């Protein structure tokens, strides 16, 4: 049993490490080339000895500037749990022909939903690429601006795959774009290249009515090609649920279930039908909230700050520079990962440029992150 538990812990550690190893330079991620660059470029902490000596001017190409400006995925209980749960869902889906299940990532803006979505795709593709590199295991799109037409959703996938024809002249750029139906070419590539995961971000811009026809298209991709879809965005849970009810006519289905439901006698002496508790319109949801701060708790907010401390690359970073400011940092950011990462990354860049090489309260107070 101990050996089994140790092996499981080691495997979970490998999964989380794959997801946390992020690329250095941002590239357009909604194309196959840009996504693959994101998956395969590994971030590496610069060696202090290789950077500009302390007290000398720092140039714009100093690797520590680029490194410290990057958003790192530090140990975070909510993220770690979501990565592992999704890993197991995708593993189950890969090994079955029916009954596959999609997933939703939801929560307030600024809690790291997009970052988590991409970390999931990154970890999944990394495990596939270790076995074979001729697949396109992951497709990552944003919900289209004009989401009423299913053709526009397919076009977004086609653009990722490099199938959408680009304008050749300036006149073509200025003309309204005609969006052809690329369903067949997209299907062909997804099938031939063994795509297994579709990441859909930006669901907060979509109305449930707009999603209704698209859900049936995604259903076909899942049922015939084995493609799992993860929907991401603030309000995505209710948007997808409402669309599923409308798409499948679940209200009528539930009426039919109620007619066949068993009848029991209640305490009031009347007969009552026992309705099923499960709701087929609801997908498993990963909900991200702002990171809390509890008195005496070292597993949530302080552990995140400790992760940033260990990742930073500064000549004179004081021990516990961030952890000792835990209450202040939580008050500044409200526990929102977006605000926290901006505050820390901007402070680190400023510390390098100004030669301070440390993060202090005065430096943090000089950084404007809104909020």
State whether 298 and 343 are in the same domain. yes
Note whether residue 18 is domain-resident. Answer: no
Range of the domain at 362: 290-371
State whether 211 and 258 are in the same domain. yes
DSSP classification of residue 324: G
Strands 263-265 and 271-273: antiparallel
Q: From residue 74, how far is each of 20, 300, 304, 308 by CA, in Å?
A: 7, 11, 6, 6
Q: What is the pLDDT of residue 58?
A: 80
Tokens of 190: 């997804």
- Sign of torsion over alpha carbons 8, 13, 19, 21: negative
Beta bridge partners of 265: 271
Is residue 23 within 8 Å of 43, Cβ to Cβ? Answer: yes
State whether 307 and 369 are in the same domain. yes
pLDDT tens, the chain, 371 aa long = 566 777 667 766 766 665 555 444 556 789 999 999 999 887 788 887 777 777 777 877 788 888 888 767 787 888 889 999 998 999 898 888 888 899 999 999 999 999 999 999 999 999 888 777 789 999 999 999 888 889 899 999 999 999 977 666 667 656 666 667 889 999 999 999 999 999 999 999 999 999 998 999 999 999 999 999 999 999 999 999 999 999 887 544 444 444 455 555 555 656 555 444 555 557 899 999 999 998 887 788 999 999 999 999 999 999 999 999 999 999 999 999 999 999 999 999 999 988 899 999 999 999 998 86
Total domains in the fold of the chain: 2
> Looking up tokens 């989401």, which residue turns up?
147
Note whether residue 158 is domain-resident. Answer: yes
138 phi and psi angles, rounded to 5 deg: -130, 135
> Looking up tokens 């952890």, which residue turns up?
323
Distance CA 30, CA 276 (A): 41
Note whether residue 351 is domain-resident. Answer: yes
Q: What is the pLDDT of residue 265?
A: 56
Note whether residue 156 is domain-resident. Answer: yes
**Greatest pairwise CA separation for the chain in angstroms:** 86
Note whether residue 64 is domain-resident. Answer: no
State whether 275 and 345 are in the same domain. no
Distance CA 156, CA 256 (A): 38
State whether 139 and 122 are in the same domain. yes
Note whether residue 52 is domain-resident. Answer: no
Predicted TM-score (pTM) above 0.85:
no
Q: What is the pLDDT of residue 146?
A: 87
State whether 123 and 223 are in the same domain. yes
């Amino acid at each position: 049993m101990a050996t089994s538990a140790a092996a499981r812990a080691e495997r979970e550690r490998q999964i989380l490490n794959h997801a946390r190893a992020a690329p250095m330079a941002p590239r357009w991620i909604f194309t196959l080339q840009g996504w693959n660059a994101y998956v395969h470029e590994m971030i590496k902490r610069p060696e202090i000895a290789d950077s500009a000596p302390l007290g000398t001017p720092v140039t714009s190409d100093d690797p520590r500037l680029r490194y410290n400006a990057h958003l790192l995925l530090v140990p975070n209980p909510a993220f770690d749990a979501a990565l592992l749960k999704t890993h197991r869902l995708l593993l189950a889906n890969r090994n079955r022909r029916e009954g596959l299940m999609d997933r939703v990532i939801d929560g307030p803006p600024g809690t790291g939903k997009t970052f988590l979505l991409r970390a999931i795709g990154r970890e999944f593709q990394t495990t596939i690429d270790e076995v074979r590199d001729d697949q396109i295991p992951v497709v990552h799109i944003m919900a289209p601006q004009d989401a009423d037409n299913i053709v526009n959703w397919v076009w977004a996938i086609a653009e990722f795959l490099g199938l959408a024809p680009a304008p050749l002249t300036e006149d073509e750029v200025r003309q309204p774009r005609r969006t052809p139906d690329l369903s067949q070419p997209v299907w062909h590539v997804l099938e031939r290249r063994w795509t297994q995961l579709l990441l859909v971000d930006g669901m907060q811009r979509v109305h449930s009515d707009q999603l209704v026809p698209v859900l049936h298209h995604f259903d076909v991709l899942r049922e015939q090609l084995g493609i799992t879809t993860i929907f991401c965005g603030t309000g995505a849970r209710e948007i997808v649920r409402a669309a599923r009810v409308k798409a499948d006519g679940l209200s009528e289905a539930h009426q039919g279930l109620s007619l066949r439901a068993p009848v029991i006698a209640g305490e009031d002496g009347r007969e009552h039908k026992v309705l099923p508790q499960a709701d087929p319109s609801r997908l498993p949801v990963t909900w991200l909230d702002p990171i809390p701060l509890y008195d005496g708790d070292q597993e949530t907010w302080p552990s995140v700050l400790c992760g940033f401390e260990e990742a930073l690359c500064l000549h004179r970073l004081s021990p516990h520079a961030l952890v000792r400011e835990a209450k202040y940092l939580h008050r500044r950011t409200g526990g929102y990962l977006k605000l926290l990462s901006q505050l820390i990354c901007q402070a680190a860049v400023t510390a390098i440029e100004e030669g301070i090489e440390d993060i202090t309260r005065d430096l943090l107070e000089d950084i404007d992150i809104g909020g």
